[in-house]
Every structure is written in structure tokens, then in C-alpha cells.
Structure 1
Amino acid sequence: RTLTPLGSSAHPDNEDWTCFEQSASLDIKSFFGFESTVEKIAMKQYASSIKKGKEIIEFYLNQLEEEGITQVPRWSPSLDGPSVAVKPVYKLDADYIKRYLGDLTPLQESCLIRLRQWLQESHKGKIPKDEHILRFLRARDFNMDKARETMCQSLTWRKQHQVDHLLETWTSPRVLSDYYTGGWHHHDKEGRPLYILRLGQMDTKGLVRALGEESLLRHVLSINEEGLRRCEENTKVFGRPISCWTCLVDLEGLNMRHLWRPGVKALLRIIEVVEANYPETLGRLLILRAPRVFPVLWTLVSPFIDENTRKKFLIYAGNDYQGPGGLVDYIDKEIIPDFLGGDCMCDVPEGGLVPKSLYRTAEELENDDIRLWTETIYQSASIFKGAPHEVVIEIIDAASVITWDFDVCKGDVVFHIYHSKRAPQPPARKDPPGGPHGSITTPGGNNVQLIDRSWTLGLDYSMVESPLTCREGESVQGSHVTRWPGFYILQWRFHNMPGSSSTNLPRVDDVLASLQVSSHKCKVMYYTEVIGSEDFRGSMTSLESSHSGFSQLSHATSSSNNSQSSSMISR
């Protein structure tokens, strides 16, 4: 084992910060079959050494602080005189932070910059705003790895279900306009948008029977998207960062009918989706006029609510909200709704029972839920070790453009593009009892293999693009100009980590990644489209005018309109 001493360097994004690095390499040739165990013991020992090194650094930093030294001038080699401080190349502007993000410590600012930089490298073309990134960092106490994992999952979810366009595409059914007892109402004393929900007056059973779970979820998502938009507007109006809203829930009228099991199930599903994709958007939740049945409902739903979110709940029973420490502490008196004893008229629907004539059958609701769930241009696929996922595209005219856009949701994959003159056929398997003949051999329902194992690379089919290794969390877009007609096969293959018998030592990132891979399964979400040769004339204009907004071509393809193959892949 070799251990590299602790080294330091200026942070690439802010030279006011110092990065400390320490690395180690471990090469176990043979240890009687216990190589893996020895490796784990050594890694554990190394982690302990790192911890001790950190304690030593913190000790000397505390010593400097006790001596009143809070800043040390940066050393700079100079032949003419003493060292001079160098102005940072880049960091977030202090006025920008104060105006739009709020107070950030140097460590929090560093986390934001590093996570944003990682997104720029792996998610080109769809970088969320700093406010959005901060919400995930704050929700995970600025733990970079946890925040990156949850945010990548959320970005993939938003992309799959077109959530970014929800406010423009979603139209609430009439039954929601009439019987959903919620709506926006001015703002609280801190300038946060205020949403009022008269849950006690809502016929949850009627709404579920008339609309289904997915329509209710889609409506709640539109409310959250509207809340984000209002936060941006209020930030401009009040001149200070407003990143969350206040929700007022009136429970007058809540009774046992609200504990109808399918309704509670729909509520739990909504809470789960909102918690995962809209962290730190709820600033405060005021629960008013909680009846005796409320503890039962709270017992059912509270385990599904994040602990940090639960701390923002204020619960008032009866009319306790009218006194000191009540509603007037958070909402200006002149905008308290009339049904809560105020003078302000509130446009939130009063609700009532949904007519049974609007109820739909279980089959109708199921079909509608399936339509909403599958209403996306993206498909999901699982990739297993030894079982890649493949998509075949038939090209009639050469110089057509194959475009792709995929996200690596789990694991690491290798992306290939092949060409064949004959159509690949799914391998047949023996009929299962009562099952159809000719099913695709696959260990998973959404895994498709098309290239026959008897095919020989270079003879039956050829590779037309260099393999691209894609890491978990990356988003990849690209295009390929076809050179010949025939069948093009897009393949996602499980990425095998370097073996321990290799003469070259694996990178630390690869070792850590290999430890995280479970059950030898990866997952991708993808979309492909072909732009016909009649619509493509070798210019980027033709691509920008097509439906594939993510597709672009390299300069090599924009200079000529011949049949040469060219592509561009971006991550």
C-alpha cells in the first residue's frame, strides 16, 4: 500500500477556499482467497487515518482562531518582494446571494457552486436555477452526495412527466374547479405566497371516485409549480429572497368519512411525490380548528412526512388560533379570510358533496390513471449484467438523422450504436405453460435484446459510433447522421468495473462505484427520434426547427450535405 501525504490547493471555483487532498492506492496480489476482506479492512483503516488528519487540521485552525487570526494572506511566489494576495477568479456575488438566495456560509456557498458545476458537466441544457439546487442542499443539510442523488432523481422525474410544462399543458377538470377546496390568497407577513386549503369541507371520497388518484396528483403538482412561480414574483416585489410558501389548512368539518381508505392512500401518494420533488418549499403549515378525529389522521400521515417538514407545522384546536400567538402573528389582519373571522373575502370554493352522477367506474378510473402515467415521450428500460437493452431503428434513406436523449437513473452503462443490413430478430424461447411463442428472452419485463448471440461483430453487424461510458445521474443527448440504409441498433450495456486482476490499479471513483452497484442492474430512461433526409439539409437550422429540441450537430456536419457519418454526444 502506498499513501500520498496530505496536499493542499486553491479551490477551482473560489480561491479564498483551500482544498486538502490525500490519496492512497492498494494492490493485493494474493491473500489466500481473502483479498476482498483484506481490502475492506485496509479501506476502513484508511478512513480512520483520514478522520485523524481532519482532526489535526481543525486543531490548528482553532489555534489560529483563538489567537485572533481569521485570515492568512495567500502566498504567491514573487521575485520583487513579499507575497501578495490574489483576487479570486470566481465566486458568487455577495449582492446576488443577499438578493436572491439568502444568507449562505462559505461552506454552503461552496456546496452550491460544486453541485452546479457537476450539473453543468453532466446535464447540459437543463440546469436548474440556484434556488432549486439550494432547496435540495438544504433538505439534506448540505450533504453533497445525498443532495445530488435526490436532485438527479427529481430531474429525471420532471423530465419523464414533462413537469416543467405542466402549468401550460394541464387543465383542471370542472369537478376540481367546483369541489376542490383550495386556492391562493395574498401572502403572509414575510411575503410568502399563502395557500388556503379547507380540507374539512372537501369531499375526498367524491373527488377520488370522480377523478382518480392520478388526476388529483397532477392537480397538486400544478399547485406546487404555481407556488414556485409566485415565489419568484414575490422575490422581485419584496426585494428579498422568498423561496417557500405558507399553507393554511382549515379542518372544520373533518370527520371519519375523511378517513376513507382509498382517499388516505391517495393523500399518502401525494405526500410522497411532493416530499421527493419539492423539498424546502413549505415555509410554514398552519392547521386550524383541528377536531378530535385529527390525531387519527395525523397518526396515519405523519410517518410519511420529513422530520424537517414536521417542525414547520403549527396546530391549533378549536378557536385557539384567534388569540395571541395565533393567526395574526403570521398573517396580516386585513387579509384573514371571512370564514375564519376576518374581513377579507376569499375565493376558495366552499366544496360540498360531489354528485354521484359524476362518479366513474373503477375500469374508467384505471384507464385514465394509466393514460396520465404513460403520457410521456420517454420509455424506461432495465439493463442487467449480460443482458443489454436494445432499440432497433429502420432507416430507408441515407443521411437521415437519428437523435437520442437518455438519463442514467441507476448504475453505469455503456452506450453503443450498431448497423446491420438485415433486421435483428428477438431470440425465441420455449413456450411457458399457456404462453405465446417467440417471446423475448429477458430477465426483466422492460428489457429487450435484439442482436442474436450467433451474430459476429464486423460480419453480421458493425459499430458506427465509439462506445460511450455513462455514469449514474448523467443526461446524454446526441445525434448520428446515417451513412447507409438498413437497421441501426441503439444499445445500452451494463458497465463492468475493472477487475482486481488487472495490472492497472482502478480509480478510487470506480472502486466506490463498484461497491454501490447492487443486484447487477442498471436503469435508463430514453427517447429517440429520426429526422428524415428530406427534412435535413446539413444545417443546424433544420434541426432546431424539428420536434427534437435537444438535437444538435457538430460543425463537421453543417459544412456539407454528403453521406458521411457524423455525430455529437453531450452530457
Structure 2
Amino acid sequence: MDLRSANSQNGMNGEAKPDECHYISDADLVKIMKMREIIAKDDPAPKVADDATLRRFLYARESNVQHASELYIKYRKWRQTFVPHGCISETVITNELKKNMVCMQGFDKKGRPIAVVILKRHKPCHKALEDTKRYFVYTFDKMASRTSSGQEKFTIIVDLEGWTYKHVDIRGYLALLEILQNYYPERLGKLYFIHLPYIFWAAWNIVCPFVDKKTKQKVSIVENKDIRTTLLMDIDESQLPEIYGGKLPLVPVQDAVVPNLPAN
């Protein structure tokens, strides 16, 4: 299914505008072949990902074959230990799912699936950090499964309304940032922060040094007066959540239907 037909089935208005091409250039294919050689030397037994996946790792490391290969090897070892069964079962994150912290519905104008993170529904607890990490791996996997051929990225809206000091979890944010940047490279298309409380900048100044250059380029910190206008630049009203003046209700991520996703 091409991107236009996929978006039509998902109710998008107009023509999709993917920000990446499904076609892989000859130059990239040569580098991907070299990556496969390096990865095979580390461990020849496991199945290596497809070309499109390896290209994401390549782009995340500025087309440096050695660095991209090392990142993929690190990813594969992490995946084998953290997600040994191929996916995170809902049965191991029931407490996190009850919070309905993440909702997933709609697509932006480039065909990227949209998630809304209601951050006030998360309260820091050192004992629950691993559960939080599993919950977001479950979420990232589900969003990645909802992407189309030729469009491998997703969009995240972080809503900070009602977010106060008691909700601040720097340790958790840094853990999730590491997972997103190292294990889901080139998956993030856009990241919005909206409904900013006065403490946002204090937290951002702590986290910001750990945000890599590519991720920073995708971040949009939106003033309250500009929320609707800014979101509508990238998201059609028909795909925008109702709470931001759009047409779609919020759907908890566990209730969002994703074709071909393994059942929990």
C-alpha cells in the first residue's frame, strides 16, 4: 500500500507529504552493505534488519558506517534483553496503562502518526522507572507499527497542562530520551511542548544538554497563544485532537488499533 492510499484509509485530507523517500540510493546501499559486514562480525547468527531500518541508523550517525553499525549492534543487544519476546506485553505494564498518559490517534500532514502525552498523569517513582520505560517502549513500538512505507517517523505532542513540581521526573525523562535517541533513531519527526508552566524552562535546561542536535531540530516549544495555529500548520483539523480544537477524540494508546501488531 502506498502512502497516499494509506492516508486515505486513515481519513487524511489532501495529498500526503512524506519527509523521507522509500527509495534507497545506490550510495546508501553501498554503506548499508558495509554495515551488514561489520554487524555480522559482531554476531553472525541473529537476523539483521531490513535496509530501511539500517538506513535510519546510518542517517542518525551522519552516514558514518562504523558509528551507525556500532549503534545498531548496541540496539540489537538492548532489544534482546529488554524486549526478549519481540514486544512488551500489556500484562507487565498494567499500572502504567491505567493512567492513560499516552493517547494515539490521527496523522499529521506528512503522514506521521500522532501521540499525545499528558505528562501530569505521570508521577515519579524510582521503583517504577523500569515500568515507565517498558510503557514507552510499548508506545514507541506501537507508533512505529502505525507508520507507512516511505514514512517511518511519528509526531509527539507533550501536553504540560497541570504539570507541577510533584510531577517532575528528570531521571525518567533522561532514560526515555536515551531510548528514543539510541534505539529508535530517526523515528521522531516532530516533538511539540504545549501548555508550558513556569517551571518548564528549569526542567528543560537540565535535560537539554542531553538532547542531540538532530532531536533538537525537531523540537517545537509553543507559547499558549500559538498552540492551535502552530499545530494546524502541520496537522489538518480533521486529524487534530478535539481538546486542541480538532475533530478527533483522544484514544488511549492501548485502545488504538494498529494492523499487524502482535496481540498482547
Q: Is the structural similarity TM-score above 0.5?
A: yes
TM-score, normalised by the number of residues in structure 2: 0.80
Alpha-carbon contact 1:255-1:293 (below 8 Å) kept: yes
Alpha-carbon contact 2:38-2:69 (below 8 Å) kept: no
1:298 aligns with 2:219: no
Give the greater-gyration-radius structure (CA): 1
2-side partners of 1:310 and 1:133: how far apart?
A: 22
1:175 aligns with 2:95: yes
Q: How far 1:302 moved relative to its partner?
A: 1.1
Q: Which amino acid aligns with 1:174?
A: T
1-side partners of 2:36 and 2:193: how far apart?
A: 36
Say if 1:330 and 1:228 are closer, same or farther in 2 by CA, change over 3 A: same
Q: Which amino acid aligns with 1:346?
A: L
Say if 1:341 and 1:162 are closer, same or farther in 2 by CA, change over 3 A: closer
**Structure possessing the higher relative contact order (Cα contacts under 8 Å, 6 or more residues apart):** 2
Matches within 5 A, 1:156-555: 156-163=77-84, 165-167=86-88, 169-199=89-119, 201-205=120-124, 208=125, 212-231=128-147, 234-235=148-149, 241-259=150-168, 263-323=169-229, 326-348=230-252
Identity of aligned residues (%): 24
Q: Secondary structure at the match of 1:248?
A: strand
1-side partners of 2:166 and 2:81: how far apart?
A: 35
Runs of at least 5 residues in structure 2 that lack an aligned partner in the other structure: 1-19, 254-264
Q: Secondary structure at the match of 2:146?
A: helix
Higher relative helix content: 2
Alpha-carbon contact 1:289-1:319 (below 8 Å) kept: no
Say if 1:224 and 1:343 are closer, same or farther in 2 by CA, change over 3 A: closer
TM-superposition CA deviations, 1:393-414 (whole Å, max 9, x none) = xxxxxxxxxxxxxxxxxxxxxx
2-side partners of 1:117 and 1:164: how far apart?
A: 26
Q: How far 1:286 moved relative to its partner?
A: 1.6
Q: Which amino acid aligns with 1:280?
A: E
Say if 1:193 and 1:164 are closer, same or farther in 2 by CA, change over 3 A: farther
Q: Which amino acid aligns with 2:117?
A: L
Q: How far 1:258 moved relative to its partner?
A: 2.4
Q: Which amino acid aligns with 1:248?
A: I
Q: How far 1:322 moved relative to its partner?
A: 2.0
Q: How far 1:158 moved relative to its partner?
A: 1.3
Q: How far 1:118 moved relative to its partner?
A: 4.1
TM-superposition CA deviations, 1:170-225 (whole Å, max 9, x none) = 525433222141121121111111111111x32423xx27x611111111111122
Q: Secondary structure at the match of 2:157?
A: strand
TM-superposition CA deviations, 1:269-321 (whole Å, max 9, x none) = 22223322111110111222222221111111111111111110111111312
The residue number in structure 1 matching 2:16 is none
Matches within 5 A, 1:3-18: none
TM-score, normalised by the number of residues in structure 1: 0.38
The residue number in structure 2 matching 1:569 is none
Q: Secondary structure at the match of 1:333?
A: coil
Q: How far 1:151 moved relative to its partner?
A: 1.1
2-side partners of 1:317 and 1:255: how far apart?
A: 17
The residue number in structure 1 matching 2:4 is none
Alpha-carbon contact 1:138-1:280 (below 8 Å) kept: yes
Q: Which amino acid aligns with 1:337?
A: P
Matches within 5 A, 1:104-119: 104-119=24-39
Say if 1:164 and 1:188 are closer, same or farther in 2 by CA, change over 3 A: farther
Q: How far 1:160 moved relative to its partner?
A: 2.5
Aligned-residue Cα RMSD (Å) equals: 2.4
1-side partners of 2:40 and 2:178: how far apart?
A: 28
Alpha-carbon contact 2:114-2:154 (below 8 Å) kept: yes
Say if 1:163 and 1:189 are closer, same or farther in 2 by CA, change over 3 A: farther
2-side partners of 1:164 and 1:174: how far apart?
A: 17
Q: Secondary structure at the match of 1:171?
A: helix
Say if 1:159 and 1:348 are closer, same or farther in 2 by CA, change over 3 A: closer
2-side partners of 1:283 and 1:125: how far apart?
A: 29
Higher relative strand content: 1
Runs of at least 5 residues in structure 1 that lack an aligned partner in the other structure: 1-99, 236-240, 350-571
Alpha-carbon contact 2:112-2:154 (below 8 Å) kept: yes
Say if 1:283 and 1:216 are closer, same or farther in 2 by CA, change over 3 A: same
